[in-house]
Amino acid sequence: MSSTPRLTRDWWFQNGHSRSVKTGIVPPVPREGQKIRILQFGEGRLLRTLIDTAFEEMRRVHGWQGLIAMVNCRPHGAQNIQGLKAQDGLYTALIHDDEQVTPEVVAGVLPYDRDQEWEDILTLAESVEWMVTNATESGIVPSPEAMMPSAVTPQTVVGMVTMALWRRWKANPLTPLTVLPTELLPQNGKRLQSAVREQAQRWRLPEEFMAWVTQRGIFVNTLVDRVVTGPPEPVDQWWQKLGYQDRYLTVGEHYGRWWIEATGGWPDMPLEHVSTVQFVDRLDGYHQLKVLGLNGVHLLIACKGLLHGYGTVQEAFADPAIQHDAEAYWVAVKPVISLPQTSVEDFLNSLRHRFGQQWLHHRLEDIAVRLVDKWWIRIAPSMDWWWTQKRSIPQALVGVTDQILQYLIQTHPTQWTVQWIEETFQFESHHAGSWRTELVRRLHAPHS
Which pLDDT belongs to residue 423? 61
C-alpha to C-alpha distance for 408 and 415, rounded to whole angstroms: 9
More confident residue, 431 or 145: 145
Q: Check whether residue 220 and residue 299 sit in a common domain.
A: no
Q: Check whether residue 246 and residue 312 sit in a common domain.
A: no
| Position 3 in a domain | no
Cα torsion 179, 183, 184, 186 to 10°: value is -40
Question: Per residue in 343-356, is it b (16+ CB within 10 Å) or e — as a string?
Answer: ebeebbeebeebbe
Q: Check whether residue 271 and residue 301 sit in a common domain.
A: no
Total Cβ atoms within 10 A of residue 358: 9
SS3 label, residue 362: coil
Which pLDDT belongs to residue 117? 98
Q: Which of 249, 280, 311 is the last residue of a domain?
A: 280
Q: Which of 280, 297, 318 is the last residue of a domain?
A: 280
Q: Which of 239, 262, 280 is the last residue of a domain?
A: 280
| Position 75 in a domain | yes
- DSSP for 165-190, written as a single string: HHHHHHH-TTS-EEEEE--SSTTHHH
Q: Check whether residue 273 and residue 300 sit in a common domain.
A: no
More confident residue, 218 or 161: 161
Q: Check whether residue 254 and residue 304 sit in a common domain.
A: no
Q: Check whether residue 384 and residue 235 sit in a common domain.
A: no
Which pLDDT belongs to residue 18? 75
Specify the number of domains making up the chain. 2
The region of weakest confidence among 105-109, 196-200, 300-304, 425-429 is: 425-429
Residue type, 325: D
User: In whole numbers, what is the pLDDT of the chain averaged over residues?
Assistant: 90
Range of 115's domain? 9-280
| Position 105 in a domain | yes
Tens of pLDDT, residue by residue over 41-59, are 999 999 999 999 999 999 9
Confidence of residue 231 (pLDDT cuts 50, 70, 90): confident
Asked if the model's pLDDT at residue 416 lies above 70, the reply is no
C-alpha to C-alpha distance for 324 and 336, rounded to whole angstroms: 20
Asked if the model's pLDDT at residue 272 lies above 50, the reply is yes
Tens of pLDDT, residue by residue over 327-343, are 999 999 999 999 999 99
Which pLDDT belongs to residue 281? 92
What percentage of the chain reaches a pLDDT higher than 90? 71
Which pLDDT belongs to residue 58? 94
| Position 2 in a domain | no
Q: Check whether residue 128 and residue 205 sit in a common domain.
A: yes
Q: Check whether residue 226 and residue 290 sit in a common domain.
A: no
Give the residue among 296, 237, 286, 292 at the shortest CA–CA distance from 259: 286
Q: Check whether residue 270 and residue 295 sit in a common domain.
A: no
**Rounded mean pLDDT, 398-423:** 77
Confidence of residue 430 (pLDDT cuts 50, 70, 90): very low
Query: Positive or negative CA dihedral for 6, 8, 14, 15?
Result: positive
| Position 421 in a domain | yes
Asked if the model's pLDDT at residue 448 lies above 50, the reply is no
Cα torsion 313, 285, 43, 263 to 10°: value is 150
| Position 4 in a domain | no
C-alpha to C-alpha distance for 44 and 132, rounded to whole angstroms: 12
| Position 1 in a domain | no
Cα-based distances in Å from 260 to 138, 319, 441, 443: 21, 35, 40, 38
What percentage of the chain reaches a pLDDT higher than 70? 93
**Rounded mean pLDDT, 136-159:** 90
Q: Check whether residue 231 and residue 320 sit in a common domain.
A: no
C-alpha to C-alpha distance for 195 and 210, rounded to whole angstroms: 11
Tens of pLDDT, residue by residue over 15-44, are 877 777 677 888 888 888 899 999 999 999
More confident residue, 29 or 77: 77
For position 141, which CATH number holds?
Answer: 3.40.50.720
Q: Check whether residue 308 and residue 387 sit in a common domain.
A: yes
More confident residue, 155 or 13: 155
| Position 260 in a domain | yes
For position 334, which CATH number holds?
Answer: 1.10.1040.10
Q: Check whether residue 159 and residue 271 sit in a common domain.
A: yes
